Every structure is written in C-alpha cells, then in structure tokens.
C-alpha cells in the first residue's frame, strides 16, 4: 500500500529474512515442478545477476520507487475538484492484493503463508489504524505541497521514538534529541515559509485567504496523520511478532482487510453521482489519473522489493542512510513537478529537514552498535522486508 514514505523509524519486527527465499505453507497450492526448463542465455543471466548484486542499482531502484510513489500520489489527489480519497485508496489496496496473488500463482513469490481467518480477525484492528493513516496522509498531501508534507512527516519519528520508550523500553540518546530539535525547527521554518508564500501569492494560484484556509486544513490533516501513523506503527510492532508474520504476509493482510473498509467508506461518505465523477475524472486527464491509481498500487510492491534488495546487497546501515538522503530528492520533486513555492524559507526548511534525517539515522546506527557490541557496518537486516515496506509506506 502506498503511503509510503520513507525511512527513519526502526522497528524490530521479528526475524524476517529474505522475501525471496524458501516457501512456507502453500497459499494457493504448489506449482507443478518443471523438469525441462528452457536453456537460458548465459550472457543475459550473467548480466542480470551482476545487476542483482549491484549496491548502486539497488539504491537507485529504491530511491526511484519511493520518489515516484510520492509524486504519483500527489498528482492523483491534486485535482481542483478531487474528493474520492476512499475510492482511490481502495483501488490501491485492490491492485496490490491482486498483484501479490498473481505473483504467488506464477511462482515469483514463494513464501506467502496461507490465509488464516483467525489471524485476520486479530490483525483487523491494525488494518483499521492503517486506514486512518493512509486516509489522513492522502488528505494532508492534497492540501500541502510535497516538500512541506515530507518535512512534517519527520514529526512522526519523534512520537514513535517516545512511544517506544513508554511501551517497548526504548531509549532516546542526546544525538537523537538533537535530530528531534532539527526536525521541529525544519517544520516551523516550512510552515512559516508556506504561510508567507500564501500571503504574498508566491506559488499559489488562489487568493491569499483561500490559500491560508487550504494550508490550515492541510496542517490539521497532517497532525491527525502523525497520530494515526504513530499508532499504526507502534501497534503493528506490538502485534506482528505474535502473528508470526514475515515477508509479504503483512502487506497482503493489510491490503486485503482494508479493501471492504475503504469501499464501504467510499459508498457512505463520497458522492458517486455522474456529475461528481466527471469533476474528479475530467476527460482530458482521465486516462492519466487511472494509470496513476494503478501504479500507486503496484508501487507498494516495488518499494517492498527494492527495500529487501537494498538491504540484501548493502547493509541495514547503508539502507538507513539512503532513506535519510532520499528525503532531499523527494522534497525537491515537489518543487520540480508541482506548484510548490521556491523561497529562501522553503529551501532552508528542506535542508534542515534533510540534515535532521541524517543525524537521526546516524544516532540509530550508534545506538544499535552500542546495544549489540558490534560495528555499525554489519550486514544483518534489522527487520523483515514486509515490515520495512510498511514503514516506508508510512513515511512516503
């Protein structure tokens, strides 16, 4: 599922392992064994294997996947008359679920556990928290620019860090406190720059009063998103070990269980009249919007795969740093592709937020090294790829 974000909250979600390893219990039955495989071109597969083990390729793929998800989400919800967020998120979940099932059926995904109704009932409250997270995230992204949204998303890290202190015996180091201060500072600068730009009419096609009203709505939804995201990630961390979810199990259950909730929400609160559908999907952009909605569902799969790939060929430390560095191009994408004001304040906020992410990532690396007594260059993943994917989605 999109919402994908990106990267600063470390959750130890079980042993995890590689998403592409051996098979657990069959989900849709085993594929028949193939005794006569076609002869493969050694030159092509040698080149493919080289890419598969390339740290640079994995990092680039992960960055492109996360940036494209944020840009596509912003594009879909940025229509002047857009008001079908529940429907949009239902399409995301449906596409993601069908893709996982297709990958399992064709043998590309071999370690998806069979559906368990008992586990589904226990996991359903977590899925409800996910609905709150992705809906408030979509609404915030609808009213705020990509740079401001990305910067304010960092505040979730602070809430989760102290949630871990209260419920999981975590700790906050002085270096983390420094990063938290920088995150708050970057958010204050971003809000100040955005409000000033609205008053001056920089980068806003609306009147100043209307622009300020839009920003206020965006900040309100962003605050709710911080609360919902923190609740979801902390709740998932508490439950996921008991469920023995690994790899793509979490993603599958999350998307499958949210589909009926999102569809019911859409039918109850959204306008399905022909006139409103025409306003949300104008003829000149209808095809692009539909392609974007489908891609957003596939994007969750791409991010999950690229997360696992990056951790596998580099290290969890490198991955954490890449996530922090990735904040900068995500924020810059809003300046490039959308009507985000480019001012001294907005650029300063992006840079301060970027530095805060780097400081926090380094603080987590140092903390882990001190706790485990090992060098921070270990190549052992700290979480399953599915947990990593959900964490990324929450921060996108």
The alpha carbon of 86 is separated from its chain's Cα centroid by a whole number of angstroms, namely: 17
CA-CA distances (angstroms) from residue 247 to 41, 100, 155, 241, 384?
30, 12, 27, 12, 6
How many angstroms separate the CA atoms of 29 and 131, rounded? 30
Confidence at residue 314, expressed as pLDDT on a 0 to 100 scale: 76
pLDDT at 389: 45
Residues 6 or more apart whose CB falls under 8 angstroms from that of 125 comprise 235
Q: How many CB atoms lie within 10 A of CB 347?
A: 16
* pTM assigned to the model: 0.76
* CA 153, 157, 162, 167 torsion-angle sign: positive
107 secondary structure, DSSP code: T
pLDDT at 226: 92
* Phi, psi dihedrals of residue 314, rounded to the nearest 5°: -115, -110
From first to last of the 396 residues of the chain, give the pLDDT tens digit: 444 443 333 333 333 333 433 333 333 344 444 444 445 556 666 777 788 778 888 888 888 888 888 888 888 888 778 889 999 999 999 999 999 889 888 887 777 778 888 888 888 998 899 999 999 998 998 888 888 888 888 888 888 888 888 887 778 888 889 989 999 998 899 888 888 877 776 555 556 677 777 788 889 999 999 999 888 888 888 887 777 776 578 888 888 999 999 999 999 999 999 999 999 999 888 899 999 999 988 988 888 788 778 877 876 667 777 777 777 788 877 777 776 777 888 888 888 888 888 888 888 888 777 776 554 444 444 444 444 444 544 445
b/e sequence 173-183, b meaning 16+ C-beta within 10 Å: eebbeebbebb
DSSP string, 319-367: HHHHHHHTHHHHHHHHHHHS-----HHHHHHHHHHHHHHHHHHHHHHHH
Contact of 76 with 277, CB cutoff 8 Å: no
């Amino acid at each position: 599922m999109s919402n994908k974000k990106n990267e600063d909250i470390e959750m130890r979600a079980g042993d995890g392992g590689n998403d592409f390893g051996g098979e657990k219990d069959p989900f849709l039955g085993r594929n028949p064994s193939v005794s006569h495989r076609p002869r493969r071109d050694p030159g092509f597969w040698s080149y493919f294997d080289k890419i598969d083990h390339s740290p640079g390729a994995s990092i680039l793929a992960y960055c492109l996947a996360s940036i494209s998800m944020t840009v596509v989400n912003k594009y879909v919800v940025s229509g002047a008359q857009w008001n079908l967020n529940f429907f949009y998120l239902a399409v995301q979940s449906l596409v993601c679920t069908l893709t996982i099932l297709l990958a399992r059926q064709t043998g590309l995904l071999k370690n998806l556990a069979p559906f368990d109704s008992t586990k589904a009932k226990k996991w359903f409250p977590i899925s409800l928290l996910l609905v709150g997270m992705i809906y408030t995230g979509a609404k915030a992204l609808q009213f705020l620019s990509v740079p401001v949204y990305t910067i304010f998303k960092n505040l979730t890290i602070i809430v989760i860090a102290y949630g871990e202190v209260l419920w999981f015996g975590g700790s906050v180091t002085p270096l983390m406190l420094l990063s938290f201060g920088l995150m708050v500072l970057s958010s204050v600068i971003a809000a100040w720059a955005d409000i000033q730009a609205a008053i001056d009419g920089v980068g806003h096609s609306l009147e100043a009063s209307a622009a300020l009203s839009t920003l206020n709505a965006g900040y309100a939804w962003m605050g709710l998103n911080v609360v919902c995201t923190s609740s979801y990630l902390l709740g998932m961390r508490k439950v996921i070990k008991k469920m023995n979810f690994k790899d793509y199990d979490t993603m599958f259950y999350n998307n499958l269980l949210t589909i009926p909730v999102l569809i019911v929400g859409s039918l109850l609160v959204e306008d399905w009249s022909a006139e409103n559908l025409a306003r949300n999907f104008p003829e000149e952009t209808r095809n692009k919007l539909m392609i974007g909605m489908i891609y957003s569902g596939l994007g969750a799969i791409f991010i999950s795969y690229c997360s696992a790939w990056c951790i596998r060929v580099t290290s969890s430390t490198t991955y954490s740093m890449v996530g922090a560095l990735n904040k900068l191009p995500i924020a810059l994408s809003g300046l490039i592709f959308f009507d985000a004001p480019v001012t001294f304040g907005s650029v300063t906020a992006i840079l301060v937020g970027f530095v805060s992410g780097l400081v926090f990532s380094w603080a987590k690396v140092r903390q882990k090294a001190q706790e485990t007594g090992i060098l921070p260059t270990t190549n052992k993943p700290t979480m399953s790829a599915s947990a990593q994917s959900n964490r990324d989605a929450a921060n996108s």
